[in-house]
Structure 1
Amino acid sequence: MAVTIRQIAELAGVSRGTVDRVLNNRGGVSQEAEKTIKRIAKELNYKPNLMAKALANSQKGTTIGVLVNSGGNPFFDKVLLGIAKAQEEIAGFHIKVKKVELTGYNIEKQLYAINQLVDLQISGLVITPINDSTIAEKLNEVNNKGIPVVTLNADITGIEKLGFVGCNYEKSGQTAGELLGQITQGNATVGILTGSNKMLGHTMRVDGFQQVIEQSYPNITVARILETFDDDQIAYEQTKKLLLENQSINALYYCAGGIDGGIKAVLELGYAHKLKIITVDDTDNIKQYLYQGIVNATVCQQPFKQGYDAIKLVFNKLIYNQLPEKKHLYTQNEIKVKFNLD
């Protein structure tokens, strides 16, 4: 027979409400009582009543909010597929997923979208946050309301959160730096095209890249670092300007979105196969650039897994009251060339 909260309460000499607070990490209970309750629950192998939780969810309309800066960035197609797969699997628990997709990195728009989701009385939030103190303050406010926050693909400093699911961006940049160093035999002038300095992951990729070339490849010089805002048209214009104004550049590192626009400029200028190019991710177009030899290598980050795991992280907290073993759940940095794309 399943162990109940009432049984635990009787053995611990406390109310059922106190047991419920401890088992759902709501706080407001003395350390001694919390320790006793958790010990008894463990000894009795207490499991939450999943049928009851599913019924409760159906009655109150439990929703996980998802806010991603996916507009115009084909990388997120696979992230959204991962989210959809997880959404399908948790549907039996009467948990819905409400997605909001934004384009660009406008702080006010992201704040407005967060407030919209909170107004819908979401029970959890998955977000690709802009790394800004205003956003951090808002997310801490959300967390303090008892709404677990998971950062997806992009992280942010200064917040309390359930966890982060995504790439180890510093290692991604380091990997790209080592690849370029080996491909060019340590002699190159490189232009870096990043997404936005407002995104922590983008700046960490650039930092990781520069760490490696400074330490291991002193004859590699960074000519310019330009932002593309994950926009193909801006990436096209920035790449074209970069190459025309810096004739010594013989390598490019694209470490965020806008890669298709950048490659368009490379092709128009007749620089295909003349430049060594390292990118990120493996969208269909990037695969074609690899097959054609326009891009030498790309560093990938398991986007489907990111989307899937982020939703399941919130689900496990809501249904099982399960916390992740680590705050940062990094996906694997995978080096891909034309021979291992499948």
Structure 2
Amino acid sequence: MAKENITIKDIAARAGVSTGTVDRVLHNRPNVSKAALEKVNKALEEMDYRPNMYASALAYNKEYTFYCVLPKHEQEAYWDEIEEGAMACTEFRRDFGSKLKFIYYERFNPPAFTKMVRELFTAKIDGVIIVPATLEQTARFTEKLIERNIPYVLLDSYMPDLKPLSFFGQDSFASGYFAAKMLMLIANKEKEIALMKQTRDGIVGSKQQANRETGFRHYMVDHFPKIKITEVDLPLDEDHKDYDGILEKFFSTHPHVHHCITFNSKAHIVGEFLQKSNRRNVQIMGYDMVAKNEECVRKGSISFLIAQHAYQQGYASVDALFNAIVMKRAVNPVNYMPIEILTKENVDFYRRTAI
């Protein structure tokens, strides 16, 4: 008999008990004698029974509320695809009563983050997806989740000391190292390259970006120690017209710089400037398949993009909570996304959605 076709009636016949007794054993309900329990368990073992977890979860008809905590962001940003993937998985699991709500926090604003956490804990929470703020802020948040026995998944930046249920994202150091290796395929004859950074008070937006830069610089020190890396700061929250002035000043005073890199999803800021200023001999390399970056790749002002599979990260993070909380299944603790490079020739074939 096929394992998936075994019914309660089959088990009851094998064990010599009623179907009601089998049902109570399978669902850990009381009022089962020791002798009956032993008979049913023996029958289950002999028949190699595997319960239909989906049917069991549906039968409980319970609702589950998950929260996704993200930084505030503009439209058409990397985080939009995280949201799209998370909502798609939630929709796929809708028959199980799972709901997903989004909460946004301001980067570089610890009091606002603390307030957000305080308000979150007034709601019913079954699981949380977190894009970390600083380690200190995030640790205080996750400590409260642990106290309340609420599972959580980390995205974007891996902080192993926080002991999340699971992590989805790239190996940031390896990603930066890889980015340097790819850039040097076309920039190995240069004497200077530019590193475009967006900071506030000298601090980049995430630990992930900092780790990418570390990996990038390690490769450069190991293989191209004589190439100068000049930093250009495009302060966060500046108007784009101010960026144009910063970039015009830099490229006018550094006419020998032909290659740039940035470790966030804003390569299009430089790419669009290069198109407007008609600087066809300069290119930038960046991250994330957002629409504006994609357009710059097609027009040639962005040479390479490294994809993070943001949609899949969002989808997989909800799926991990679902499997752990609803289905009571083990999930992989660390899930590194592939490091893929996109150019004008293959950008149209990039798969955003979950397979």
TM-score category of the 2 structures, normalised to the smaller one: 0.7 to 0.9
Cα distance in 2 for partners of 1:291, 1:277 equals 13
- 1:216 equivalent in structure 2: 223
Structure 1 unmatched runs, 5+: 14-39
- 2:267 equivalent in structure 1: 259
Deviations, residues 11-51 of structure 1 (Å, cap 9, x unaligned): 999xxxxxxxxxxxxxxxxxxxxxxxxxx99x975647655
The one of 270, 288, 293 aligned to 2:295: 288
Cα distance in 1 for partners of 2:187, 2:33 equals 69
- 2:101 equivalent in structure 1: 98
Cα distance in 2 for partners of 1:134, 1:76 equals 20
What amino acid is the match of 1:163?
S
Cα distance in 1 for partners of 2:145, 2:253 equals 46
- 1:203 equivalent in structure 2: 210
Cα distance in 2 for partners of 1:185, 1:8 equals 72
Decide whether the 8 Å contact of 2:197 with 2:231 is kept in 1: no
Q: 3-state DSSP class of the match of 1:274?
A: coil
Moved more, 174-183 or 231-240: 231-240
Matched length: 314
Deviation at 1:323, TM superposition (A): 2.4
What amino acid is the match of 2:264?
A
Deviation at 1:52, TM superposition (A): 5.3
Q: Does 1:273 align with 2:280?
A: yes
Cα distance in 1 for partners of 2:327, 2:58 equals 11
Cα distance in 1 for partners of 2:134, 2:189 equals 33
- 1:4 equivalent in structure 2: 26
Deviation at 1:110, TM superposition (A): 2.6
Q: Does 1:299 align with 2:306?
A: yes
Q: Identify if the C-alpha distance between structure 1 residues 70 and 190 changes in structure 2 by more than 3 Å, giving closer, same or farther.
A: farther
Q: Identify if the C-alpha distance between structure 1 residues 237 and 137 changes in structure 2 by more than 3 Å, giving closer, same or farther.
A: farther
Cα distance in 2 for partners of 1:123, 1:131 equals 23
- 2:167 equivalent in structure 1: 164
Give runs of aligned pairs for residues 87-236 of structure 1, distance below 5 A: 87-102=90-105, 104-156=107-159, 158-195=161-198, 197=204, 199-224=206-231, 226=233, 228-229=235-236, 233=240
Cα distance in 1 for partners of 2:267, 2:237 equals 8
Deviation at 1:149, TM superposition (A): 0.9
Deviations, residues 154-176 of structure 1 (Å, cap 9, x unaligned): 33353121011112211221121
Q: TM-score if structure 2 supplies the norm length?
A: 0.77
Deviation at 1:271, TM superposition (A): 5.8
Q: 3-state DSSP class of the match of 1:202?
A: helix
Deviation at 1:237, TM superposition (A): 6.0
Cα distance in 2 for partners of 1:230, 1:324 equals 38
Cα distance in 1 for partners of 2:164, 2:77 equals 27
- 1:65 equivalent in structure 2: 67
Deviation at 1:122, TM superposition (A): 0.8
- 2:339 equivalent in structure 1: 333
Q: Identify if the C-alpha distance between structure 1 residues 232 and 157 changes in structure 2 by more than 3 Å, giving closer, same or farther.
A: farther
Deviation at 1:113, TM superposition (A): 2.2
What amino acid is the match of 2:151?
P
What amino acid is the match of 1:281?
D
- 1:34 equivalent in structure 2: none
Cα distance in 2 for partners of 1:198, 1:256 equals 9
Q: TM-score if structure 1 supplies the norm length?
A: 0.79
Deviation at 1:114, TM superposition (A): 2.8
What amino acid is the match of 1:295?
I
Decide whether the 8 Å contact of 2:130 with 2:154 is kept in 1: yes
Deviation at 1:282, TM superposition (A): 1.6
Cα distance in 2 for partners of 1:241, 1:10 equals 81
Q: Identify if the C-alpha distance between structure 1 residues 225 and 205 changes in structure 2 by more than 3 Å, giving closer, same or farther.
A: farther
Deviations, residues 67-110 of structure 1 (Å, cap 9, x unaligned): 11251162222221111110101111111101123454433323
Q: 3-state DSSP class of the match of 2:194?
A: strand
Moved more, 223-232 or 282-291: 223-232
- RMSD over aligned Cα atoms: 3.4
Q: Does 1:318 align with 2:325?
A: yes
Q: 3-state DSSP class of the match of 2:302?
A: coil
Cα distance in 1 for partners of 2:115, 2:55 equals 35
Give the fraction of aligned pairs with identical amino acids, expressed as a percent: 16
Deviation at 1:8, TM superposition (A): 11
The one of 290, 307, 315 aligned to 1:308: 315
